[in-house]
């Protein structure tokens, strides 16, 4: 099998290398990926010397890592594949995603106070209204760019609504998030660096917090600012950083699931018509979209001591990178793993991770995917991809930048 460079974001820009992952699962489930030189634009965030990492491709090994924070830390080196500068790491450790117990447990408990079932259920109604509005705007046109006009709109509007940001600010949030997540892609990394985007988003969060402290409302920002665990509240720095994490974690990922789902349905017209004829299949179809697309490509851990995984010795401080698209096609767990089957059951995929860091927004993301496809397949049942699909150059998120679609226009 020809080696594929899993460090190189261009690898994933072409496509997820499923054949290579199959080979790795069968032959080298814990595989050494050597380092590669960095592009210059990201030097203010990254160390100039990057280290190689262990690439983990099997479902069971990824579950083992995700459950064992004592041996595989999210905090030591953050969850990003690249080696960041010490300053940047110190800052990013304010994100719960880059923390281990007990710090993580405490912060997650506090944040959970905002992510109650009630808040998410209330969002369901908004998601319905927002989805209908998005489809209204394109329905008479007969064609559109699915990513710009549909997939990226909904998650942004939902997070803006959830946090209580004015809706007109969503373009700002969209651009900042693109700059930060797309730093490896020339389309996004030129105009403004990821570091600048981070600074501006941070300031924005501070301003929003100030507004809500003076005048609390019925939004997550107000709930979070008022929540307490063991007599402690979120300080300003932690709130601002959490705001950024939500915008980044909840926006790009859900967008990718929706556009990847559209592409999968378009490439499998039999599945699309089965779903359009029976919308009660939507919850299962949503899980299958998440499994098949795997919107997050990888998350990293760092070994806290010398460990052994699947017979491979890993030294303390070495990087261990989990590849979710590979786990989600592991034949040990899934029958016919490369088939897109919207009736698949059971479907215990790892698209949202596993264990203590399991995605906080999973239910919200599921609702968005389910509702937007319900709206699309009811009103534009013959919607299909009709032109070139441009993918993002990223080794972290499985993202589509643009994808033309056509459909019979609503009269």
Counting Cα atoms < 13 Å in the Cβ hemisphere of 394 gives 27
First and final CA of the chain: distance in angstroms? 53
Mode of pairing for the β-strands spanning 319-323 and 53-56: parallel
Q: Give the DSSP letter string of 257-292.
A: HHHHHHHHHHH-HHHHHHHHH-GGGHHHHHHHHHHH
Q: Determine if 246 is a binding residue for ligand HEM (CB under 6 A).
A: yes
Q: Determine if 249 is a binding residue for ligand HEM (CB under 6 A).
A: yes
Distance of CA 108 to the CA centre of its chain: 18
The nearest distance, CB 387 to ligand HEM, in angstroms, is: 24
Contact residue for ligand HEM among 42, 120, 195, 245 (CB under 6 A): 245
The nearest distance, CB 320 to ligand HEM, in angstroms, is: 12
Distances in whole angstroms, Cα of residue 9 to Cα of each of 64, 285, 350, 385, 392: 26, 29, 21, 24, 9
Which residue, among 78, 12, 45, has the nearest Cα to 357 in the 3D structure? 78
Contact residue for ligand HEM among 114, 193, 295, 325 (CB under 6 A): 295
Q: Which stretch binds ligand HEM (CB under 6 A): 11-19, 186-194, 260-268, 294-302?
A: 294-302
Contact residue for ligand HEM among 353, 392, 400, 405 (CB under 6 A): 353
Q: Determine if 76 is a binding residue for ligand HEM (CB under 6 A).
A: no
Q: Report, in angstroms and rounded to the nearest whole number, the Rg of the chain calculated over CA atoms.
A: 21
The nearest distance, CB 281 to ligand HEM, in angstroms, is: 19
Q: Are the C-beta atoms of 134 and 383 separated by less than 8 Å? A: no
Q: Determine if 189 is a binding residue for ligand HEM (CB under 6 A).
A: no
The nearest distance, CB 107 to ligand HEM, in angstroms, is: 8
CA distance 31 to 37: 19
Residue 338 sits at φ, ψ, to 5 deg, of -85, -5
The nearest distance, CB 151 to ligand HEM, in angstroms, is: 11
The nearest distance, CB 13 to ligand HEM, in angstroms, is: 19
Q: Determine if 361 is a binding residue for ligand HEM (CB under 6 A).
A: yes
The H-or-E segment that residue 123 falls in is helix 117-139
The nearest distance, CB 310 to ligand HEM, in angstroms, is: 19
Contact residue for ligand HEM among 151, 208, 327, 364 (CB under 6 A): 364
Q: Determine if 114 is a binding residue for ligand HEM (CB under 6 A).
A: no
The H-or-E segment that residue 33 falls in is strand 30-33
Q: Determine if 89 is a binding residue for ligand HEM (CB under 6 A).
A: no
Contact residue for ligand HEM among 160, 205, 360, 403 (CB under 6 A): 360
What angle is formed at CA 145 by the lines to CA 141 and CA 146, rounded to 5 degrees? 100
Q: Determine if 297 is a binding residue for ligand HEM (CB under 6 A).
A: no
Please report, as ranges, the residues that interact with ligand HEM according to CB under 6 A: 66, 74, 79, 96-97, 108, 159, 245-246, 249-250, 253-254, 257, 295-296, 299, 351-353, 357, 359-361, 364-365
């Amino acid at each position: 099998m020809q080696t594929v460079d899993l460090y190189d974001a261009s690898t994933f820009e072409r496509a997820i290398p499923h054949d290579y992952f199959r080979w790795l699962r069968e032959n080298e489930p814990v595989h050494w990926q050597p380092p590669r030189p960095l592009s210059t634009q990201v030097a203010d965030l990254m160390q100039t010397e990057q280290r190689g990492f262990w690439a983990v491709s099997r479902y069971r090994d990824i579950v083992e890592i995700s459950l064992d924070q004592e041996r595989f830390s999210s905090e030591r080196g953050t969850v990003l594949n690249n080696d960041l500068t010490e300053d940047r790491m110190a800052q990013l450790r304010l994100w719960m995603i880059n923390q281990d117990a007990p710090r993580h447990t405490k912060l997650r408990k506090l944040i959970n106070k905002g992510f109650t079932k009630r808040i998410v259920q209330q969002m369901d109604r908004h998601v319905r209204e927002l989805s209908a509005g998005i489809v209204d705007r394109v329905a008479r046109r007969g064609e559109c760019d699915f990513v710009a006009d549909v997939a990226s709109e909904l998650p942004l509007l939902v997070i803006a609504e959830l946090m209580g940001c004015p809706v007109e600010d969503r373009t700002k949030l969209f651009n900042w998030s693109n700059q930060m997540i797309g730093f490896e892609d020339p389309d996004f990394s030129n105009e403004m660096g990821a570091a600048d985007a981070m600074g501006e988003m941070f300031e924005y969060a501070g301003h929003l917090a100030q507004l809500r402290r003076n005048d609390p409302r019925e939004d997550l920002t107000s709930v979070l600012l008022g929540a307490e665990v063991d007599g402690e509240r979120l300080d300003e720095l932690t709130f601002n950083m959490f705001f950024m994490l939500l915008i980044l974690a909840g926006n790009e990922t859900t967008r990718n699931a929706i556009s990847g789902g559209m592409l999968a349905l378009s490439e499998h017209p039999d599945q699309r018509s089965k779903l359009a004829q029976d919308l009660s299949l939507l919850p299962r179809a949503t899980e299958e979209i998440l499994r098949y697309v795997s919107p997050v490509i990888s998350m990293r851990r760092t070994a806290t001591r010398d460990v052994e995984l699947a017979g491979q010795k890993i030294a303390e401080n070495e990087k261990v990178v989990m590849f979710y698209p590979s786990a989600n096609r592991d034949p040990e767990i899934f029958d016919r793993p490369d088939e897109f089957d919207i009736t698949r059951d059971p479907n215990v995929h790892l698209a949202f991770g596993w264990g203590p860091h399991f995605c906080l927004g999973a239910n919200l993301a599921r609702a968005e995917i389910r509702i937007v496809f319900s709206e699309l397949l009811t009103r534009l049942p013959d919607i299909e991809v009709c032109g070139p699909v441009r993918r993002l150059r990223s080794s972290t998120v499985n993202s589509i930048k643009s994808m033309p679609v056509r459909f019979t226009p609503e009269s």
